[in-house]
Amino acid sequence: MGNFAVLGAGAWGTALAKVLADKGNRTTLWAHRPEIAEHIARDRVNARYLPGIALPETLHPTGDLEEAVRGAEMVVVVVPSHGLRDVVRQARPYLPPEVLICSASKGIEQESLMLMSEVLHDELGTHVSPRLTYLSGPSFAKEVAVGQPTAVVVAGASEPETHAVQQAFATDRLRVYSSLDVVGVEIGGALKNVVAIAAGAADGLGFGHNARAGLITRGLAEIARLAMTKGANPLTVAGLSGMGDLVLTCTGELSRNRTVGFEMGKGRTLEDVLASLGHVAEGVKTAKSAYDLGRKLDVEMPITSEVYRALYEGKSPRQAVVDLMNRALTRE
């Protein structure tokens, strides 16, 4: 059995820690707030972020980062993308030399416009590259936690390490594919959250299935353009991390990003929606990063641009749709 650490006791970190712990692995779950770790240790449930899910005795909560990573064979980082750099920097002195690192966060850092892989290289050095992997794909934490069948993908630059992480997570309910296209998997996972906000807004405005299908498909087109420009294989984003996750989050009511768009489409302000959400909606920050990255790399990203304007410039979602529909006609 393995000795694993999961950094981040939100919904997804708790669900992934449960997957590993249910397989009999000693799994330490680090919580950003020590009181959350104390509560999980006492009640064997994470009532704040993953209510109603009993957590096994093999899962050890802690608020101490050094204790979490000391002796771990694999460290899974599942904090919101804006917190990943700081958490990794704090954990760095205690990371065992040969440890495998898996990021399950979906986002692009706002100031640097770096993918999580670029942030990890920046903080840990390029020599760790073969030991870095990225888990993504259509996977609501709640469904994974209760054992609903789910398929995800783990990407890494080195096949043996990627296969080790694939094996570590795989169960008869969680099917894990592998990929060598890190950038494609990361961009698919980050950008689908922005398109989910747009799809939610379309639903909130009262539009139909046609609008949603159009947004998913044209959203995928701009995700593919950005992925290709960053060196990825465009077919990667037609897979689980990309099309798969677009379908899930643009249609699934459990999606926090879709909820943000939906509520804004109904007329609520972003501040009001975020105040009541209770979880991170990565698409809000990623809309700005992706908008800036698209402009920097000269990639046309009309849906992302309209989501950015609705979130950051106060544009009404209805006007954003009007402007998307009235763009110059073009080839598919």
Ligand X SMILES: NC(=O)C1=CN([C@@H]2O[C@H](COP(=O)(O)OP(=O)(O)OC[C@H]3O[C@@H](n4cnc5c(N)ncnc54)[C@H](OP(=O)(O)O)[C@@H]3O)[C@@H](O)[C@H]2O)C=CC1
Ligand Y SMILES: O=C(CO)COP(=O)(O)O
Task: List residues binding ligand X (CB under 6 A).
Answer: 8-13, 31-33, 36, 49, 78-83, 87, 104-107, 139-141, 279-280, 282
Known binding-site positions: 8-13, 32-33, 49, 106, 137, 139, 141, 192, 245, 255-257, 280, 282
Q: Parallel, antiparallel, or unpaired: how do β-strands 59-62 and 100-103 relate?
A: unpaired
2 burial (CB, 10 Å; 0-12 / 13-18 / 19+) is: middle
- Which segments of the chain does DSSP mark as H helices, in order? 11-22, 34-43, 65-69, 81-91, 116-124, 141-145, 159-169, 182-204, 209-229, 245-251, 256-265, 270-277, 282-297, 302-312, 317-325
296-226-294 Cα angle (round to 5): 25
Round to whole Å and give the CA distance between 190 and 118: 14
Tell me whether residue 81 or residue 133 sits nearer to ligand X (CB atom).
Answer: 81
Tell me whether residue 226 or residue 250 sits nearer to ligand Y (CB atom).
Answer: 250
Round to whole Å and give the CA distance between 4 and 81: 21
Catalytic-role residue among 18, 23, 192, 288: 192
Among 242, 280, 241, smallest CA distance to 259 is for 280
Chain residue at closest Cβ approach to ligand X: 10
Residue 249 contact among ligand X, ligand Y, none, beta carbon within 5 to 8 Å by kind? ligand Y
For the CB of residue 198, give the shortest distance to ligand X in the complex, in Å: 17
Known binding-site positions for substrate: 106, 256-257
Round to whole Å and give the CA distance between 205 and 201: 6
Tell me whether residue 78 or residue 196 sits nearer to ligand Y (CB atom).
Answer: 196
Residue 138 contact among ligand Y, ligand X, none, beta carbon within 5 to 8 Å by kind? ligand Y
Q: Which residues pair with 100 in a beta bridge?
A: 74
Q: Read off the amino acid at residue 188.
A: G
Tell me whether residue 12 or residue 94 sits nearer to ligand Y (CB atom).
Answer: 12
For the CB of residue 104, give the shortest distance to ligand X in the complex, in Å: 6
To the query of whether residue 315 is one of the catalytic residues in this protein, the response is no
| Site residues (vs ligand Y, CB under 6 A) | 106, 138-140, 193, 196, 245, 248-249, 255-258, 282
For the CB of residue 329, give the shortest distance to ligand X in the complex, in Å: 35
For the CB of residue 274, give the shortest distance to ligand X in the complex, in Å: 11
- Cβ neighbours of residue 263 under 8 Å, at least 6 residues apart? 200, 204, 272, 273
Residue 255 contact among ligand X, ligand Y, none, beta carbon within 5 to 8 Å by kind? ligand Y
For the CB of residue 316, give the shortest distance to ligand X in the complex, in Å: 26
For the CB of residue 6, give the shortest distance to ligand Y in the complex, in Å: 16
Among 189, 272, 285, 200, smallest CA distance to 237 is for 189
Tokens standing for residue 291: 């908008």
Residue 245 contact among ligand X, ligand Y, none, beta carbon within 5 to 8 Å by kind? ligand Y
Residue 62 contact among ligand Y, ligand X, none, beta carbon within 5 to 8 Å by kind? none
Using the CB atoms, write b or e for 308-320: b if 16+ within 10 Å: bbbbeeeeebeeb
Tell me whether residue 85 or residue 285 sits nearer to ligand Y (CB atom).
Answer: 285
Tell me whether residue 24 or residue 34 sits nearer to ligand X (CB atom).
Answer: 34
CB 272 within 8 A of CB 222: no
Q: Which residues pair with 29 in a beta bridge?
A: 6, 61
Catalytic residues: 192
